[in-house]
């Protein structure tokens, strides 16, 4: 006798929550946190707009070569932190680990050299790195960044640093960070290459006092020897040659002028000879904002000049500078400092109803309320008014509109003042007017093109 196929079909075991949790290092952004992200994005957009920057979004993944060629094979990002994968045709793609490479690729692809220079762009995007997850270090994280391409002057460097600082000021955290600044010179053979040669010579023969990673760095990326966090390496770095003694005339002048400009703007800085940034593409100015209390580990962002990158990626020589900042770290800092952000998510009115006709009226009323800017919710799937009012409590609304069988029959509605506990019966077609009156015109959240302007 054949069995019913349904009975013999093996059921896949039900997954446990543990099986489906987010992978290590990535997280949901829940509504409470979104209040911070939204606020941060508004501040960024506002400051960008004031300074003539326009927004760009590059794709979440690009050909791996875009990052390899720009960031450099020896950087931590390319050598061990990229999420790379092959597509169905065997092409290597990578989730973007940082923003500049994609922006430069786009600058070239869209012929932005023909636009009025400098081209000033900003982005607010998630990025992906196979980092070791810990507080403030994730595998998907949000960065905002600013890039200026096509013109050079120390004043441009000063201005972009100032922009970063102003954003931190707007967010109330500027005092918690120090600006660290350095110049790592240029590729002129008397400048950085000469320094690197002497740096190698200094470290050569000292391998036994260096951490394993620095032994590789000596070979592949000697600049990074200077910012190693291992104790023995820190000691070695103290007596290492210093870039400032090797800067060519042009780089030296450029850097001195930049420092003067920062002073003129009242921006304090710490000259830091150990600051090199991890990526190959920097030239001259490099800078980071470090936590004033914990230092380099909690850098909130950084950047620098990358005058050689456009050419390296196939374009004409084009000077450029940019920075990127980590949004999770900024938000963590804001929370730790007890900073709260204003939100527009509070609900004005709860609409409770009983019976089908009341429900129909409630749906219509809620739409009308929203159209004049009254934020309202109902609990349309809940039965008893008592249960609905519990939901109203959860939203902590100042007013509730109640429409039961009596009110529908009389063409009225009850408006309940939730704080006072008092209530008033009004004609159904006066509900809107009455609510505007008690809430106040200035509280309304009307759709306005101004408000939603990018
Ligand atoms: P970077 O260009 O690597 O210096 O990154 C700029 C900023 O992005 C850092 O200062 C951090 O604030 C942030 N950031 C970089 N990597 C991560 C990460 N794995 N998780 C969270 N934030 C990060």
| Cα separation values, 120 from 15, 49, 55, 162, Å | 48, 11, 9, 15
181 is written with which tokens?
């600044």
**Rounded distance, CA 166 to CA 153, Å?**
20
Q: What is the pLDDT of residues 201-215, one digit of tens each?
A: 999 999 999 999 899
Q: What is the mean pLDDT of residues 412-420?
A: 95
Residue with CA closest to ligand 1 atom 8: 326
| Cα separation values, 395 from 218, 307, 345, Å | 60, 53, 10
Q: Closest Cα partner for 414 from 389, 383, 444? A: 389
Residue 3 above 80 pLDDT?
no
Place of tokens 């004609």: 427
Close Cβ partners of 340 (under 8 Å, ≥ 6 residues apart): none
Could you identify the atom of ligand 1 that is nearest to the CA of residue 77? 3
**What pLDDT is recorded for position 413?**
97
Q: What is the pLDDT of residues 260-269, one digit of tens each?
A: 999 999 999 9
**What pLDDT is recorded for position 435?**
97
Q: What is the pLDDT of residues 344-354, one digit of tens each?
A: 889 999 999 99
Q: What is the pLDDT of residues 257-303, one digit of tens each?
A: 999 999 999 999 999 999 998 777 899 999 999 998 886 677 999 99
Q: Which of 79-88, 307-316, 443-452 has the lowest mean pLDDT?
A: 443-452
Percent of the chain with pLDDT over 90: 82
Per-residue confidence band for 307, with pLDDT thresholds at 50, 70 and 90? very high
**What pLDDT is recorded for position 5?**
53
Per-residue confidence band for 317, with pLDDT thresholds at 50, 70 and 90? very high
Q: Report CA 121 to chain centroid distance, whole Å.
A: 15
**Rounded distance, CA 242 to CA 416, Å?**
72
CA of 55 to the centre of ligand 1 (A): 20
Please give the order of strands across the beta sheet that includes 92-95. Answer: 61-63, 92-95, 84-86
The reply to whether ligand 1 has any atom less than 6 angstroms from the CB of 70 is: no
φ, ψ of residue 177 to 5 degrees: the values are -130, 150
1 is written with which tokens?
């006798």
Residue/partner pairs of 225-229 with CB below 8 Å, 24 or more apart: 225/199, 226/199, 226/273, 226/274, 226/276, 227/274, 227/275, 227/276, 227/296, 229/296, 229/297
The reply to whether ligand 1 has any atom less than 6 angstroms from the CB of 36 is: no
Question: Ligand 1 test: best mutation among 329, 331, 332, most atoms within 8 Å of CB?
Answer: 329
The reply to whether ligand 1 has any atom less than 6 angstroms from the CB of 304 is: no
Q: Closest Cα partner for 346 from 28, 32, 30? A: 32
Residue 23 — left, alpha, or beta (φ > 0 → left; ψ -120 to 50 → alpha)? beta
Residue 359 above 80 pLDDT?
yes
Model pTM?
A: 0.91
**What pLDDT is recorded for position 174?**
97
CA atoms within 13 A on the CB side of 51: 25
Q: Which of 28-32, 204-208, 371-375, 380-384 has the lowest mean pLDDT?
A: 380-384
**Rounded distance, CA 178 to CA 155, Å?**
20
Per-residue confidence band for 13, with pLDDT thresholds at 50, 70 and 90? confident
**What pLDDT is recorded for position 275?**
94
Q: What is the mean pLDDT of residues 150-154?
A: 97
Contact 161, 270 (CB under 8 A): no
Q: Which of 7-11, 143-147, 175-179, 246-250 has the lowest mean pLDDT?
A: 7-11
399-403/349-353 β-pairing: parallel
Q: What is the pLDDT of residues 394-407, one digit of tens each?
A: 999 999 999 999 99
pLDDT: which is higher, 180 or 16: 180
Reported residue count of the chain is 454
The reply to whether ligand 1 has any atom less than 6 angstroms from the CB of 157 is: no
**What pLDDT is recorded for position 452?**
57
**What pLDDT is recorded for position 271?**
97
The reply to whether ligand 1 has any atom less than 6 angstroms from the CB of 300 is: yes
**What pLDDT is recorded for position 14?**
82
Q: What is the mean pLDDT of residues 16-28?
A: 91
CA of 353 to the centre of ligand 1 (A): 50
**Rounded distance, CA 331 to CA 352, Å?**
37
The domains of the chain, with CATH numbers, are: 31-191+247-336 (3.30.930.10), 349-453 (3.40.50.800)
The reply to whether ligand 1 has any atom less than 6 angstroms from the CB of 77 is: no
Task: Give the 3-state DSSP-derived string for the chain, with helices as H, strands as E and coil as C.
Answer: CCCCHHHHCCCCCCCCHHHHCCCCCCCCCCHHHHHHHHHHHHHHHHHHHHCCCEECCCCCEEEHHHHHHHHCCCCHHHHHHCCEEECCCCCEEEECCCCHHHHHHHHHHCCHHHCCCCEEEEEEEEEECCCCCECCECCEEEEEEEEEECCCCHHHHHHHHHHHHHHHHHCCCHHHEEEEEEECCCCCCCCHHHHHHHHHHHHCCCHHHCCHHHHHHHHHCHHHHHHCCCHHHHHHHHCCCCHHHCCCHHHHHHHHHHHHHHHHCCCCCEECCCCCCCCCCCEEEEEEEEECCCEHHHCCEEEEECCCHHHHCCCCCCCEEEEEEEHHHHHHHHHHCCCCCCCCCCCCEEEEECCHHHHHHHHHHHHHHHHCCCCEEECCCCCCHHHHHHHHHHHCCCEEEEECHHHHHHCEEEEEECCCCEEEEEEHHHHHHHHHHHHCHHHCCCCCHHHHCC
The reply to whether ligand 1 has any atom less than 6 angstroms from the CB of 182 is: no
Place of tokens 């391998």: 207
Percent of the chain with pLDDT over 70: 96
Residue with CA closest to ligand 1 atom 10: 301
The reply to whether ligand 1 has any atom less than 6 angstroms from the CB of 138 is: yes
Contact 408, 358 (CB under 8 A): yes
């Amino acid at each position: 006798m054949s069995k019913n196929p349904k009975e013999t079909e093996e059921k896949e075991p039900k997954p446990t929550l543990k099986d489906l949790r987010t992978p290590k290092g990535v997280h949901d952004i829940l509504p409470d946190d979104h209040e911070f992200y939204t606020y941060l994005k508004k501040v960024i957009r506002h400051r960008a707009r004031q300074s003539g920057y326009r927004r760009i979004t590059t794709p979440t993944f690009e050909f791996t070569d875009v990052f390899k060629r720009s960031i450099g094979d020896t950087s931590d990002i390319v050598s061990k932190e990229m999420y790379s994968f092959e597509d169905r045709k065997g092409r290597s793609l990578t989730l973007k680990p940082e923003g500049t490479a994609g922006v430069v690729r786009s600058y070239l692809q869209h012929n932005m050299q023909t636009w009025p220079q400098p081209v000033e762009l900003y982005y607010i995007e998630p990025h992906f790195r196979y980092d070791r997850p810990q507080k403030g270090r994730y595998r998907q994280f949000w960065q905002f960044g600013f890039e200026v391409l096509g013109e050079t002057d120390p004043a441009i460097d000063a201005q972009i640093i100032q922009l970063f600082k102003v954003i931190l000021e707007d967010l109330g955290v500027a005092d918690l960070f120090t600006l660290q600044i350095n110049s790592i010179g240029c590729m002129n053979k008397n400048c950085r290459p000469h320094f690197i040669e002497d740096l190698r010579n200094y470290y050569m023969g000292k391998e036994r006092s260096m951490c394993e990673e620095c032994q590789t760095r000596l070979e592949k990326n000697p600049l990074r020897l200077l910012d190693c966090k291992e104790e023995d390496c820190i000691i070695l770095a103290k007596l290492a040659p210093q870039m400032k003694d090797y800067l060519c005339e042009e780089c030296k002048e450029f850097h001195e002028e930049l420092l003067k400009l920062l002073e003129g703007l009242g921006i304090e800085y710490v000259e830091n000879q150990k600051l090199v940034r991890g990526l190959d593409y920097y030239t001259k100015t490099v800078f980071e904002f470090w936590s004033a209390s914990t230092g380099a580990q909690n850098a909130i962002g950084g950047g620098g000049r990358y005058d050689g990158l456009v050419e390296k990626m196939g374009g004409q020589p084009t000077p450029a500078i940019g920075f990127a900042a980590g949004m999770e770290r900024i938000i963590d800092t804001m929370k730790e400092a007890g900073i709260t952000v204003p939100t527009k998510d509070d609900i004005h009115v709860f609409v409770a109803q009983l019976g089908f006709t009341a429900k129909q009226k409630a749906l219509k009323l809620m739409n009308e309320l929203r159209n004049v800017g009254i934020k309202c919710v109902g609990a349309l799937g809940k039965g008893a008014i008592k249960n609905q009012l519990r939901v109203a409590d959860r939203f902590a609304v100042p007013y509730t509109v109640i429409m039961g069988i009596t009110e529908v029959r009389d063409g009225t509605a009850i408006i309940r003042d939730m704080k006072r506990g008092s209530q008033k019966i009004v004609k159904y077609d006066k509900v809107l007017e009455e609510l505007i009156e008690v809430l106040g015109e200035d509280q309304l959240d009307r759709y306005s093109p101004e408000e939603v302007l990018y």
